[in-house]
């Protein structure tokens, strides 16, 4: 079974530029998560989708971050414009469902460096 795929693996941009990350969850997984992992910290949830609807985006900085999950499968996370403090690893995860306990499976992440 293929795991969670993410691209690109690495991205370097200058502040005020825009960037987008892509995630393809495990087939059949209804719930998709985006996490931000700043160096030296644990991952922090940015947004959770159930199919193509948003369940929780309370930690998403909506003035610059946006995410979508068209057709309830792939998802993109965008930052526009980027700031220095956005340098982090962005992890995508998926689970069968989003209620009670459902194991989350993580992708390898996208490491973003903002100069």
Partner 1 sequence: AQSVTQLDSQVPVFEEAPVELRCNYSSSVSVYLFWYVQYPNQGLQLLLKYLSGSTLVKGINGFEAEFNKSQTSFHLRKPSVHISDTAEYFCAVSDQTGANNLFFGTGTRLTVIP
Q: Which residues bind partner 1 (CB under 8 A)?
A: 4, 31, 33, 40-45, 48, 55-56, 91, 93, 95, 97-104, 106-109
The rounded Cα 7 to chain-centroid distance in angstroms is 11
Least distance in angstroms from the C-beta of 59 to partner 1: 10
Cβ–Cβ under 8 Å, residues 16 and 114: no
Least distance in angstroms from the C-beta of 86 to partner 1: 19
Nearer to partner 1, 27 or 100 (CB): 100
**Judging by beta carbons within 10 Å of its beta carbon (0-12, 13-18, 19+), is residue 115 exposed, middle or buried?**
exposed
Q: CA 13, 11, 96, 40 torsion: positive or negative? A: negative
Nearer to partner 1, 88 or 91 (CB): 91
Angle at 85 between CA 5 and CA 103, to 5 degrees: 35
Q: Two tokens at 51?
A: 């199919």
Nearer to partner 1, 19 or 36 (CB): 36
Cβ–Cβ under 8 Å, residues 91 and 37: yes
Least distance in angstroms from the C-beta of 7 to partner 1: 13
Nearer to partner 1, 20 or 45 (CB): 45
Least distance in angstroms from the C-beta of 107 to partner 1: 5
């Amino acid at each position: 079974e293929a795991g969670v795929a993410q691209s690109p693996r690495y991205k370097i941009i200058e502040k005020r530029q825009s960037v987008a990350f892509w995630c393809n969850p495990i087939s059949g997984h209804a719930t998709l998560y985006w996490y931000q992992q700043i160096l030296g910290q644990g991952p922090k949830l940015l947004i959770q989708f159930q199919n193509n609807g948003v369940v929780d985006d309370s930690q998403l900085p909506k003035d610059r971050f946006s995410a979508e999950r068209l057709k309830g499968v792939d998802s993109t996370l965008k930052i526009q414009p980027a700031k220095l403090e956005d340098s982090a690893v962005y992890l995508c995860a998926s689970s069968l469902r989003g209620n009670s306990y459902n194991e989350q499976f993580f992708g390898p992440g996208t490491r973003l460096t903002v100069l």
